[in-house]
Chains A and B, each alone.
Chain A
Amino acid sequence: MAAYVISQGHQGEIKYPTHVLAEFMKICAKHNLTSVRKISSLSGFIIQEYLREKLTESTEKLRGADIFVRSLIDEGVNHLFGYPGGAVLHIYDALYRQTEIDHILVRHEQGATHAADGYARATGKPGVVLVTSGPGVTNAITGIATAYMDSIPMVVFSGQVPRNMIGNDAFQEVDAIGISRPCVKHNFLVKDVKDLASIIKKAFYVAKSGRPGPVLVDIPKDVTADLCEYSYPQDIEMRSYRPVTKGHPGQIKRAIKLLASAKKPMIYTGGGVILGEAHEELTNMTQKLGYPITNTLMGLGAYPASDGQFLGMLGMHGTYEANMAMHHCDVLFAIGARFDDRVTGDLEQFCPNARIIQIDVDPASISKNVPVDIPIVGDVKSVLTDINKLLDSQVHKIDKDAISQWWEQIKEWQKMDCLRFDRKTEKIKPQYVIETLHELTNGDAYVTSDVGQHQMWAAQFYNFNKPRRWINSGGLGTMGFGLPAAMGVKVAFPDETVACISGEASLVMCIQELSTCLQYHLPIKIILLNNRYMGMVRQWQEFFYDKRYSHSYMDALPDFIKLAESFGHVGLRVEKTSDVKDVLKQGLAMKDKLVLMDFITDQTENVYPMIAAGKGQHEMHLTPERELA
């Protein structure tokens, strides 16, 4: 039978899909219209009307698995990170029969979630994951929690056992809804194929809007086999979910008044500015005001690090000047930042003299840890646009003398040169590696990291000038994040340089993804700062546990060069400072190869400045030889 029946009606040529013709033929058979002569005895008009009616009803019934795939295509999904298994086999079969979505087969479900997460952080589009039931879901949980803590838009689809077996301890059954509940923005169990398309629409809407976050959709296997008519909703309206976007005009006016009156202002911004695509508005406002600015770990790149108003990152390993300016400021403007304990230190001593303005899209983030004087609930981009308009249209008397005195003070603090490190030694200093990477990539690479000392050094020394370039697990602190995240970024931006800065302890946590990188040709650069220790654990043990290095030494490490080679990649080892630059150049030049550069670094190096947990922001440690009073 032809794919289409073409008939000539009074409205011109009309094409009818095969299944409509099939249904028509069935009706013909029912009425014993078996021959062409008998069929044509029916009036052409009646046939036309019948077929048209059938068409407008859109009676095309699809299996749940095909509805799933069609929904993703209609949602604009291009990439899907996943791993097959029993409960999602119908879906994988549907994926096999289409060409619009690229599926990236990972080697562990944790890798799928981190890759989707990296993809989302770099592009701003939700990352999409498909895993099977049971262990597929439990393996994905770490990655879901990572995305949740950093408010990353992600939609995770998990297979589930058939509906009639739910709750029976079936093979590969786990209560995905229950187990994911505390670490998702929302989750859905699809109980009927009729709801599948609208739930997928809702899942993407919830994941992307307001304060973004991961959403899990659990789909029982039999739902993916059931038939249903398909239509993807254009818009979605949820009576119980309506995020606020516009900031309150009265609050915005009060905020500007307070900002203008400041003598020692400080702007403190977080990941919300990047998630809310508000970096231009932020830069614009900050430069108009001429006030100092600091970014949190999650907020790096929202304001260009090379600009003179930028004081560096703040917090536990923030710069001396940023933390001192926080401690001494009289007006603090917090934008898309959540007053995390790694930022505030001891809450009793946090910004003791400051009146605080806070913008956040999530009302629950406002005054959660620190009471705020002027809260503004709203989308950061929208609120900053309003603020910029008011700053342009009205005259605000800023106390220029006070501000320049404030800058004098800040310059004094900057003279401390708190990020100084030994540049003369042949033992490789990790800071130097990152600094050189910045230089060779013009500060333009996408940099992912794992968790620990190397993460802090990357944050301190890469100097991000653009948003979405710095990709790390800030909130959950997930070791193993860096490599799969880099993979996700490279999928999104195949022509960009993507570097994963890692440590030898973190890297092996998701090392299996080297195989995915080979399969999909994802030539990322791994900058391994190999100090043979879990460096941050070792650092804390040195400081707070009298150098009892309990289980922080990485004995029996693999030969990382051979490891890279065994996965089909290139490995380069670097053992002295004088080779660092050349090897980095060499590695970066191999555009079509994944290169693992194994830098054997100084084991004794620590991250400074450091505020010990529970101390005030001004109580920083610098390197031992110049400890502060």
Chain B
Amino acid sequence: MRHILSLLVENEAGALSRISGLFSARAFNIESLTVAPTEDESLSRMTIVTTGSEQIIEQITKQVNKLVDVIKVVDLNERAYIERELLLIKLDADKVENKKLESIVSEYKGSIIDESENTFMVEIINTGEVLDNVIENFDQSWILEVVRSGVSGIALGASVINK
């Protein structure tokens, strides 16, 4: 099953490689991994999307928690949460049917953020799953390039993942 882990880690040079190295060394899956500093610049927030049985997810959580640079690990699936991912997609203007494009963009509350002579660039923010659908909705011949940010997640309501 797909799980989203939210990590608070020391903002140090080796932290990312410790975490990604752990996943590869123990043959855990990473679907996506995003990392950026927080309001406290000594800390980074990492969101990892992974898959595995409950037992594997438990091992992942424990092993990640064990890393000395990791301050906190929360499995967002254990609570109400929201996830968002940014999709940037470059489309071939010669092939795009404008009407269809506009309807997709408005359906997913995206926007066309750049137009050049031959291309459209579309930006859409949504869950990973919805973005999968968006990409499928475009005629595959339109697509020149797909860039996805990877998922970021946060718990809903008052629950806060802090040090």
Chain A interface residues (CB < 8 Å from chain B): 177-178, 181-182, 185-187, 189, 206, 238-241, 362-364, 366-368, 371
Q: Bound state CA distance, A576 and B162, in angstroms?
A: 70
Min CB–CB distance B26 → chain A (angstroms): 10
- Residue from the list A181, A238, A241, A364 in contact with B62, Cβ < 8 A: A364
B24: nearest chain-A partner, CB-CB: A182
Q: Is residue B59 within 8 Å, beta carbon to beta carbon, of the partner chain?
A: yes
Binary CB contact string for chain B from 115 to 140 against chain A (1 if under 8 A, 0 otherwise): 00000000000000000000000000
Q: Which residues on the A side are within 8 Å of B66 (C-beta)?
A: 362-364
Q: Is the CB of B21 within 8 A of A206?
A: no
Q: Which residues on the A side are within 8 Å of B71 (C-beta)?
A: 239-240
Q: Is residue B70 within 8 Å, beta carbon to beta carbon, of the partner chain?
A: yes
Binary CB contact string for chain B from 69 to 100 against chain A (1 if under 8 A, 0 otherwise): 11100000000000000000000000000000
Q: Is the CB of A189 within 8 A of B59?
A: no
Q: Which residues on the B side are within 8 Å of A238 (C-beta)?
A: 68
7 smallest CB-CB distances across A and B, nearest first, come from A364-B62, A186-B68, A240-B71, A241-B68, A363-B62, A364-B63, A182-B25
Name 13 extra pairs, CB < 8 A, besides A182-B21, A187-B14, A240-B9.
A177-B14, A182-B25, A185-B68, A186-B67, A186-B68, A238-B68, A240-B70, A240-B71, A241-B68, A364-B63, A364-B66, A366-B62, A371-B55
Q: Is residue B2 within 8 Å, beta carbon to beta carbon, of the partner chain?
A: no
Q: Is residue B18 within 8 Å, beta carbon to beta carbon, of the partner chain?
A: yes
A365: nearest chain-B partner, CB-CB: B62
Q: Which of B9, B59, B68, B163 has the most CB of A within 10 A?
A: B68
Min CB–CB distance A365 → chain B (angstroms): 9
> Within residues 21 to 63 of chain B, which ones have a CB less than 8 A from any CB in chain A?
21, 25, 55, 58-59, 62-63
Q: Bound state CA distance, A187 and B14, in angstroms?
A: 9
Q: Is the CB of A181 within 8 A of B68?
A: no
Q: Which residues on the A side are within 8 Å of B65 (C-beta)?
A: 363-364
Q: Bound state CA distance, A187 and B10, in angstroms?
A: 14
B8: nearest chain-A partner, CB-CB: A240
Number of A-B contacts (CB under 8 A): 40
Q: Bound state CA distance, A535 and B131, in angstroms?
A: 59
Range for the number of chain B residues in contact with chain A: 20 to 34
Q: Which residues on the B side are within 8 Å of A206 (C-beta)?
A: 68
Q: Which residues on the A side are within 8 Å of B25 (C-beta)?
A: 182
Q: Is the CB of A240 within 8 A of B69?
A: yes
Q: Is residue B103 within 8 Å, beta carbon to beta carbon, of the partner chain?
A: no
Q: Bound state CA distance, A239 and B43, in angstroms?
A: 11
Whether A181 touches B17, Cβ cut-off 8 Å, given contacts A367-B55, A368-B59, is yes
Q: Which residues on the A side are within 8 Å of B59 (C-beta)?
A: 364, 368
Whether A181 touches B69, Cβ cut-off 8 Å, given contacts A363-B62, A364-B59, A371-B55, is no
Q: Is the CB of B21 within 8 A of A181?
A: yes
B42: nearest chain-A partner, CB-CB: A239
Could you list some 16 contacts between A and B, CB below 8 A?
A177-B14, A178-B17, A181-B14, A181-B18, A181-B21, A182-B25, A186-B67, A186-B68, A187-B14, A238-B68, A239-B163, A240-B68, A240-B69, A240-B70, A364-B62, A368-B59
Q: Bound state CA distance, A240 and B25, in angstroms?
A: 22
Q: Which residues on the A side are within 8 Å of B62 (C-beta)?
A: 363-364, 366
Q: Is the CB of B14 within 8 A of A240?
A: no
Min CB–CB distance A323 → chain B (angstroms): 25
B72: nearest chain-A partner, CB-CB: A240
Q: Bound state CA distance, A72 and B14, in angstroms?
A: 25
Q: Bound state CA distance, A363 and B58, in angstroms?
A: 10
Q: Bound state CA distance, A307 and B70, in angstroms?
A: 44
Q: Is the CB of B68 within 8 A of A189?
A: no
Q: Bound state CA distance, A366 and B14, in angstroms?
A: 27
Q: Which of B13, B21, B66, B69 has the most CB of A within 10 A?
A: B66
Min CB–CB distance B36 → chain A (angstroms): 18
Q: Which residues on the B side are within 8 Å of A178 (C-beta)?
A: 17
Q: Bound state CA distance, A363 and B70, in angstroms?
A: 15
Q: Bound state CA distance, A177 and B21, in angstroms?
A: 12
A210: nearest chain-B partner, CB-CB: B66
Q: Bound state CA distance, A177 and B69, in angstroms?
A: 14
A368: nearest chain-B partner, CB-CB: B59
Q: Which residues on the B side are within 8 Å of A182 (C-beta)?
A: 21, 25
Q: Is the CB of B55 within 8 A of A240?
A: no
Min CB–CB distance B56 → chain A (angstroms): 11
Q: Bound state CA distance, A366 and B59, in angstroms?
A: 9
Q: Which residues on the B side are within 8 Å of A189 (C-beta)?
A: 13-14
Q: Which residues on the A side are within 8 Å of B9 (C-beta)?
A: 240
Q: Bound state CA distance, A178 and B25, in angstroms?
A: 13
Q: Which residues on the B side are within 8 Å of A239 (C-beta)?
A: 71, 163
Q: Bound state CA distance, A206 and B62, in angstroms?
A: 17
Min CB–CB distance A522 → chain B (angstroms): 34
Q: Which residues on the A side are within 8 Å of B69 (C-beta)?
A: 186, 240
